[in-house]
Amino acid sequence: MNISYLNQTLRILLLFVLVFGILYFAKAVLIPLTFGMVLSMLLLPICHWLQGKGVGNSLSSILSVVALLVVIGGVITLLQYQLSDLLDDLTKIEERVNNIIAGLKEYVKQHFGISHREQQKIIKEQQGSTMGQAAGMVTTLIGSFAGILVDAILVLVYTFLFIFYRSHFKKFILRLFKPDSRKETEVVLDDASKVTQSYLGGLGLMIVMLWVMYGIGFTIAGVNNAIFFAILCGVLELVPFAGNITGTSITVLMALAQSGDTKVVVGVLITYGLVQLIQTYLLEPLVVGDRLNINPLFTILIIVVGEAVWGIPGMILAVPLLGMFKIVCDHFEPLHDYAFLIGPPKEKKGEEGNFITRIFKKNK
């Protein structure tokens, strides 16, 4: 065994551990900064297009951020419009919930012999012990909302600054390398930016398609305010794996609270199954595709690690960051083995992709 090669591998692994430690303890600073960097890469095509029309760097950077705000504002406005209709049904939902609770009380009385009065007494005792916890939860939620608002402002500021000073930052990174390797470094930077734009752009297009499919499915199923829950399920797709399950679970619970009709619940579950089938075997291969060129095992693993290090923001950022890291590994010789490990297994010529992509390729 080559001892020097083993030592080099151990040093690289130790570097990974050190990096993850820094990411964990500095997450309050790094999460908004990373979101700003990723969003700036996504908005670069808009900025370049505006500059191609003769708009200056300052104005094009501002307009790029404004375009992002317009999209976010449009989604929030649509959600707010749907939410106002949902709030109008709160009285009916409250009556339905009270009926469910009354049914549960009757079930407990018949099967466990606990009278309604005894149940009410137990509930009051529990309410008294949880009032302090509820107040603490409200305080925590208010503090969390204030923190999210501050982070959102920081993300917008960072996004603008990354776009505006992109040339300066690029020159700084190139100055860190020897002149004979700067051309390769510039290729790495360009590839990382293009891969991030391609992945996030494809993900955004897929979310819009999910809105349409969920909206149609929930409407046919008879869900009240179907557009609201369709948008909710689509937006939660930003959180891989857990997001779509969470959105569908919320829709099922609200369908039960609104009508209690099991047919509506079955319709929601059928919609979820069909959408997941279309998303997995059609949308992801054709819209998102293998743009990051990452092994599915490491996609799942990095999402788990991202959640452990940064929570939900880590789950959202983990996949594009791993894609950028793989590009670095592809161009940096000591990391070629890691690029091979992270990447998908090489298939024989003519067998690339799943059967859906092969069908479309044959039809071209």
Each residue of 317-330: pLDDT tens digit? 888 888 888 888 88
Angle 27-52/312-331 helices, nearest 10 degrees?
70
235 Cβ contact partners less than 8 Å away, ≥ 6 residues apart = 75, 207, 247
Give the SS3 label for residue 54: coil
Instruction: Give residue 234's identity as a one-letter amino acid code.
Output: G
Is the pLDDT reported for residue 348 higher than 50?
Answer: no
Is the pLDDT reported for residue 306 higher than 80?
Answer: yes
Rounded distance, CA 106 to CA 126, Å? Answer: 19
349 Cβ contact partners less than 8 Å away, ≥ 6 residues apart = none
Beta carbons of 268 and 248 less than 8 angstroms apart? yes
Q: What is the torsional sign of CA 229, 284, 240, 66?
A: negative
Residue 241 burial (10 A CB sphere; 0-12, 13-18, 19+): middle
Mean predicted confidence (pLDDT) in 42-60: 92
Is the pLDDT reported for residue 24 higher than 50?
Answer: yes
Determine the pLDDT at residue 138: 43
Rounded distance, CA 173 to CA 94, Å? Answer: 58
Provide, for the chain, the percentages of residues in helix, strand and coil under a 3-state DSSP scheme, each rounded to the nearest 5: 85, 0, 15
Q: Which of 20-34, 225-239, 282-296, 306-320 is predicted least confidently?
A: 282-296
Instruction: Give residue 150's identity as a one-letter amino acid code.
Output: V
Is the pLDDT reported for residue 337 higher than 90?
Answer: no
Query: Which percentage of the chain shows pLDDT scores above 90?
Result: 19
Instruction: Give me the chain's average pLDDT, please.
Output: 79
Q: Tokens 């500021």 correspond to what residue?
A: 157
Give the SS3 label for residue 78: helix
Confidence at 248, pLDDT banded by 50, 70, 90: confident
Rounded distance, CA 95 to CA 218, Å? Answer: 23
Per-residue pLDDT tens over the stretch 94-127: 666 677 677 777 777 776 667 767 767 666 665 5
pTM for the whole structure: 0.75
Per-residue pLDDT tens over the stretch 353-364: 454 455 544 554
Beta-strand ranges (E) seen in the chain are none
- Residue among 40, 30, 319 at smallest CA distance from 193: 40
Task: Work out the number of other CB atoms within 10 angstroms of the CB of residue 347.
Answer: 9
Task: Work out the number of other CB atoms within 10 angstroms of the CB of residue 118.
Answer: 12
Q: Which two tokens stand for residue 224?
A: 């009240």
Is the pLDDT reported for residue 351 higher than 60?
Answer: no
Beta carbons of 291 and 198 less than 8 angstroms apart? yes
Mean predicted confidence (pLDDT) in 215-229: 88
Alpha helix (H) residue ranges in 311-353: 312-331, 336-342
Q: Tokens 């900025």 correspond to what residue?
A: 47
Q: Which two tokens stand for residue 117?
A: 């009065």
Rounded distance, CA 279 to CA 286, Å? Answer: 10
224 Cβ contact partners less than 8 Å away, ≥ 6 residues apart = 86, 89, 255, 258, 259
Rounded distance, CA 139 to CA 276, Å? Answer: 37
Mean predicted confidence (pLDDT) in 14-21: 84
Is the pLDDT reported for residue 298 higher than 80?
Answer: yes
- Residue among 134, 216, 133, 158 at smallest CA distance from 38: 158
